[in-house]
Copies of this chain bind each other. A is one copy, B any other.
Amino acid sequence: MTEIAVLGYGTVGSGVVKVIETNHDSILAKAGVDLHVKYVLDLRDFPGDPIQERIVHDYDTIVNDPEIAVVVEVMGGTEPAFTFSKRALAAGKSICTSNKELVARHGTELQELARQNHASYLFEASCGGGIPIIRPLRTSLTADVIDEITGILNGTTNYILSKMIDEGLEFDDVLKDAQQKGYAERNPEADVEGHDACRKIAILSSLAYGKRVDFTDIYTEGITRITSADIRYARAMKKTIKLLAYSGRKGDQVTAMVAPYLVDREDPLYGVSGVFNAIFVHGNMLGDAMFYGQGAGREATASAVAADVVEAARALGTGVVSEWDPEKQVLTDVSSTRKAFFVRVQGDASQIAKMEAVFGPVSLVEAGVDGEYGFTTRVMTEAEYQACASQTEGILGMIRIREKGEAC
């Protein structure tokens, strides 16, 4: 029997207990490991809940119990999760976590500590919720040189954008609705400003390109400036708007960005709506691949954590960690990346010649929005776009246009 402790009996923690107990026999039959949750660490008590007898309030009970082989860290945030993780690993216990904040900030050193102690440090649930993506990157796409990862990595923003598009609503109204339904947090900043997606693309990029990508280096824009007018133009172009977390590699150069993008109908990411997430990967041999599923939710996320627990349990005494270099991956300045841009300007379409004088050839987009017009530019660098935009009065908004294999 493999004894497990779960840190935090919130949404994901209770889900992990549920998955491990509900599917205990199936896991034993399929994977040959006999999992048992011995402790749950929480500040609260849960009288009446069958978990109550296993609740502990003192982490020492867990870290000092030699029977505990795997610690599930689903507390979120940096502290005390970081300290608890270090202590567990130092004691030779494996960690399985959904804590993208901690993985993005300290994953590299926690992996190193795991390696030194022949323990595992696994974080499948940190990116894409239930979608298997970390393990496929680590064990399936090993023969490929990955040159692009583009993800819809945040369910809250994808739900908001889907709802704005389907029902023609404004951001603020949909956000309120999402908060009422529990799809958005009361303080939604981490989601709607793109910070959550930024941490996730940093983790995925570190794995795919083999060197530590620091999330604080990634240019990040959220969706708060997207309006129903943008949606009307997107419809007119037969495109949709998605918050994409992108990273690409060309030779030694790596670039990364989180921003809303216009996505074409032919793109496999087009149809990913509501709270679903998807991760598009391009490999130099594999070509295009995509992984799709529930990016959040109690059971789906817990399913991914539990799969990590199974792997850790099967690797007791040796340990499994990801292979990325602690050396920091320097990111190419976003200003040199190339793409086309969609721009909305005050005025009317008869003034398009003024735009062509600045931006070069553009294509008018007709969506019948009063007092303004829109156009798409040729492919240019972000720096060129900024230079053109600075010479143009009355710009109301800009959205980048996704192109697969967006160059560094």
Contacts and interface: CB of A to CB of B under 8 A. Distances in A.
A191 to B, nearest CB: 20
A1 interface: no
A292 B292 contact: yes
A185 interface: no
Interface stretch (A28-36, A227-235, A383-391): A28-36
B271 A287 contact: no
Interface stretch (A82-90, A134-142, A338-346): A134-142
A283 B19 CA distance: 11
A289 B288 contact: no
Given A143-B303, A306-B143, A323 B30 contact: yes
A290 interface: yes
A309 interface: yes
A299 interface: yes
Interface string A103-142: 0000000000000000000001000001110011001111
A297 interface: yes
B32 A323 contact: yes
Contacts of A203: none
A30 B210 contact: yes
A239 B11 CA distance: 37
Interface string A283-307: 1111111111110010110111011
Given A132-B136, A293-B289, A302-B285, A310 B142 contact: yes
Interface of A: 15, 18-20, 22-23, 26-27, 29-32, 124, 130-132, 135-136, 139-145, 210, 268, 270-271, 276, 283-294, 297, 299-300, 302-304, 306-307, 309-311, 323
Q: Which 7 A-B pairs have the closest CB atoms?
A: A143-B306, A132-B140, A289-B293, A285-B303, A290-B292, A285-B299, A142-B310
8 contacts: A22-B284, A30-B323, A31-B142, A130-B286, A131-B289, A139-B139, A289-B292, A292-B292
